[in-house]
Amino acid sequence: MAVSKSFLVSSKLETLLSNPNDPSPSPAPLIRIPTCPMNNNGSRRGLIQRARCEISSSKAASVSALEQLKTSAIDRYTKERSSIVVIGLNIHTAPVEMREKLAIPEAEWPRAITELCNLNHIEEAAVLSTCNRMEIYVLALSQHRGVKEVTEWMSKTSGIPVSDLCHHRFVMYDKDVTQHLFQVSAGLDSLVLGEGQILAQVKQVVNSGQGVNGFGRHISGLFKKAITAGKRARTETNIAAGAVSVSSAAVELALMKLPEHASSSSARMLVVGAGKMGKLVIKHLVAKGCTKMVVVNRSEEKVEAIRQEMMPSGVEIVYKPFDEMLACAGEADVVFTSTASESPLFLKEHVDSLPPVENGRLFVDISVPRNVGSCVGELDNARVYNVDDLKEVVAANKEDRAKKAMEAQGIITEESKQFEAWRDSLETVPTIKKLREYCERTRAGLVERFMSKHGDGMDKKTRKAVEDLTRSVVNKILHGPMQHLRCDGSDSRTLKETLENMQALNRMYGLDAELLEDKIRAKVEQK
């Protein structure tokens, strides 16, 4: 049956993207969705009536999948704006047992971006995976389908059922995503307010995304602006004044749990891992009065660099290789672990065989995935703490945290508005480009026809004058429409008015289908 004055939305996008080399998949059931005008808030609300309709198979077979898609999905994929979405789990919403299964090593972030962008409704992606959070940022063609695809991908890669992920995850869209990431970068969402390591981790997302196809303009722009917001929050407010890190909180927790007669100078300290977190643990132990510690690491190079940095502090830092780790743990009262190992370094049978110490050996594990197996906590001669237990240390200064957060929130809001204005300005870029191309094709075609009839004997100077004149006429005609497509905050037009102008021009010049084709082709090329 014929369908007019409405748009047909189908599963053809999934079909085309799943089978990019198959030009004519069998027709999928189509849903007829009448167009809905935008209300005063710019959102598509109101009743949507759905009625199934059939298209004859003979007619469908004569049209390529791309052509069907152009006519069936224009409303969804060109008039609706792609959304920036974050799907995440962090220390506030999920236990470490779940976060460690989701953790993605930094070296694998580019691979994860590529896999995410191979999903049908994901255009761009980024991964922020730390000891406190696992958050995936995407630019999605469809909010609902994008969230569904990413959640299923997270389930597949972690082995966690979708139902469990949905119970612990949080999902945000567009402006809420901007606010959230800027707060994260500023240290406002951290367990330890204002801690500096998260800003370095946000920077690393940008560094690792360089050259990765799916780390596109919207997501990379979001993270770059988040770095600016994080820097300003720390330099223009006192949010970082007296701020502690996860490592320093771990040291504080360990000292709190020592027996009454023990101290940082008398307790035997072992640090496993001399990376960024381990180095900070060592520094904070020295600051608390520790004069001797053993550091287990894969190589002595990093430990020697820490020794040189600490000189002349009078602190003895003893290096031991990994194959002596258990022997070193047997001689320690407190064991800090902070390695990138994806499997536990200490299991129940390892710790059970160690010589006992008064009140039980203390393990402070700030790694995600955890370096100390949860089963170790079942032993009478061991006490195990992980990053989730650091809440005890930072709970005391809750009032001060809230006051400092208020100081930085103004900067976050300001930077968020600037990013949203920049993103709004990108909305009309495809239409501007297509409209110019359309006008240039028309101009060039008319000039060519004119020259074929009247160009004989015309000298180069006159030919150039014709070209310049016609280009000037086109530019003059386009000046008005281009002015009404600007949404960079330089005039009084709202984004809603600008988008209405854009949609009107798309209809008048038949640009919708071309814009959709470009978007689909980009997805096919990604896959």
d(C-alpha 433, C-alpha 430), whole Å = 5
User: What does the CA dihedral 506, 507, 513, 514 come to, rounded to 10 degrees?
Assistant: -30
DSSP secondary structure string for all residues of 304-317: HHHHHHHTTS--EE
Buried b (16+ CB within 10 A) or exposed e, 14-39: ebbbeebeeeebebeebbbbeeeeee
Q: Are 121 and 151 in contact (CB under 8 A)?
A: no
Question: How many CA atoms lie within 13 Å of 65's alpha carbon, on the beta-carbon side?
Answer: 22
* Structure tokens that stand for 244 in this block: 């502690």
Per the document, the length of the chain is 527
User: Is residue 131 among the annotated active site residues?
Assistant: yes
| Nearest of 363, 11, 146, 366 to residue 137 by alpha carbon | 146
Query: Which residue(s) pair with 51 in the sheet?
Result: 32
The per-residue DSSP string of 443-502 comes to HHHHHHHHHHHH-TT--HHHHHHHHHHHHHHHHHHHHHHHHTT--SSSSS--HHHHHHHH
Cβ-based neighbours of 150, under 8 Å, separated by 6 or more:
85, 87, 116, 119, 122, 136, 138
The phi and psi torsions of 51 (rounded to 5 degrees) equal -140, 130
Integer Cα distance of 189 and 299 in angstroms = 34
Rounded Cα–Cα distance for residues 176 and 255 (Å): 39
Instruction: Report d(CA 350, CA 266) in Å as an integer.
Output: 25
3-state secondary structure of 7: strand
Q: How many CB atoms lie within 10 A of CB 422?
A: 15
**How many Å apart are CA 13 and CA 193, to the nearest integer?**
44
Q: Catalytic residue among 36, 53, 131, 487, which?
A: 131
- The rounded radius of gyration (Å) of the Cα atoms in the chain is 30
Coil/strand/helix, residue 65 = helix
Please tell me the distance from the alpha carbon of residue 118 to that of residue 490, in angstroms, as a whole number.
37
Q: Which amino acid is located at 124 in the chain? A: E
Q: Which residue numbers are catalytic?
A: 131
